[in-house]
């Protein structure tokens, strides 16, 4: 069960980093675009690699919707999950439906399990500026398995654009907006962390660093490949 929860949280957080659509100047999405996020532990050792592939961009009503395939492997190259999710854009805001991150295959190894997911989507406005406050996002998941009920909630709050910096990664050097946010996760006990994220035009998030309540680095991620 711990592995399941950790996998879902990693998918949820990584979706925040790469939410993209070609009607947003910060997050262009074009079919055939491929990119890779490498996740590191607190010792800066690779703990997971997430490869993304943009496979379908279409119109639905007044929105553009893109489908992104995502393959996650651990630090030893073993596949953890293979899933896809949708991102929508209305010309002003890019929105990630976190519910679409869940692939039923993730739960198959745990047998007869029921789950329910509710919450508010992660949104990114088309225009960013220093001092800007961004919308909160929430996720609540209820899991029932073998008579055991588990409730988990994730709240992303205090999202704010705090400055501009240049970040260099294996994919290149980029002028970025720096965004911070607080994450509160509750699953029996409460756990609070903070994150700093660097995002750039046309490519989205380049880097992110996570901190515990005492300000100690617990992990990070970096854009290591981009083709598009």
Q: What gap in Å lies between CA 211 and CA 14, rounded to an integer?
A: 16
- Confidence at residue 187, expressed as pLDDT on a 0 to 100 scale: 82
pTM of the model: 0.81
> What's the token pair of residue 61?
């009503």
Query: Can you give the residue ranges of every domain in the chain?
Result: 2-227
In 3D, which of 72, 129, 131 has the Cα closest to residue 105? Answer: 72
Residue 96 makes CB contacts below 8 A (sequence gap 6+) with 15, 16, 19, 85, 87, 121, 122, 123
- Confidence at residue 214, expressed as pLDDT on a 0 to 100 scale: 92
Q: What gap in Å lies between CA 189 and CA 206, rounded to an integer?
A: 31
Distance of CA 6 to the CA centre of its chain: 13
Helix (H, G, I), strand (E, B) or coil at 119: strand
- Confidence at residue 21, expressed as pLDDT on a 0 to 100 scale: 43
Q: Where are the beta strands (DSSP E) in 103-214?
A: 113-120, 122-125, 137-145, 148-169, 172-187, 189-200, 204-211
- Confidence at residue 30, expressed as pLDDT on a 0 to 100 scale: 78
Q: What gap in Å lies between CA 49 and CA 222, rounded to an integer?
A: 10
DSSP class per residue in 18-61? H---TTSSSS---TT-EEEEEEEETTS-EEEEEEEEEEEEEEET
In 3D, which of 186, 228, 223, 189 has the Cα closest to residue 9? Answer: 186
- Confidence at residue 176, expressed as pLDDT on a 0 to 100 scale: 95
Distance of CA 170 to the CA centre of its chain: 20
Please give the C-alpha separations between residue 203 and each of 2, 5, 11, 157, 183, in angstroms, as whole numbers.
32, 28, 19, 23, 24
Residue 119 makes CB contacts below 8 A (sequence gap 6+) with 98, 99, 137, 138, 139, 140, 154
> What's the token pair of residue 207?
């880097």
Domain topology for 2-227? YmcC-like fold (2.40.360)
Per-residue pLDDT of the chain in tens (228 residues, 90 and over written 9): 444 455 555 555 555 544 444 466 666 567 888 999 999 989 999 988 989 888 888 888 888 888 888 888 987 888 887 878 778 888 788 777 666 555 555 555 555 667 788 888 888 888 899 999 999 988 888 888 778 888 888 899 999 999 999 999 999 999 999 999 999 988 888 889 999 999 988 788 899 999 998 999 999 999 999 987
């Amino acid at each position: 069960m711990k592995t399941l929860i950790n996998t879902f949280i990693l998918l949820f957080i990584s979706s925040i980093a790469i939410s993209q659509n070609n009607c947003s100047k910060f997050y262009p999405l074009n079919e055939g675009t491929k990119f890779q996020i490498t996740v590191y532990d607190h010792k800066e050792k690779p703990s997971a690699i997430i490869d993304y592939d943009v496979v379908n961009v279409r119109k639905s009503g007044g929105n553009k919707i893109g489908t992104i395939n995502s393959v996650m492997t651990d630090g030893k190259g073993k596949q953890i999950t293979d899933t896809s999710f949708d991102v929508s854009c209305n010309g002003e805001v890019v929105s990630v439906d976190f519910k679409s991150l869940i692939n039923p295959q993730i739960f198959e190894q745990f047998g007869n399990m029921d789950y329910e997911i509710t919450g508010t989507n992660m949104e990114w406005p088309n225009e960013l500026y220093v001092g800007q406050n961004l919308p909160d996002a929430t996720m609540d998941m209820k899991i029932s398995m073998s008579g055991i009920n588990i409730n988990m909630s994730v709240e992303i709050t205090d999202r704010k654009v705090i400055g501009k910096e240049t970040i260099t990664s294996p994919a290149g050097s980029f002028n970025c907006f720096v965004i911070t946010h607080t994450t509160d996760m509750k699953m029996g006990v409460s756990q609070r962390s903070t994150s700093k994220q660097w995002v750039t035009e046309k490519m989205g998030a380049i880097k992110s660093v996570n901190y515990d309540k005492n300000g100690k680095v617990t992990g990070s991620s970096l854009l290591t490949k981009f083709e598009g």
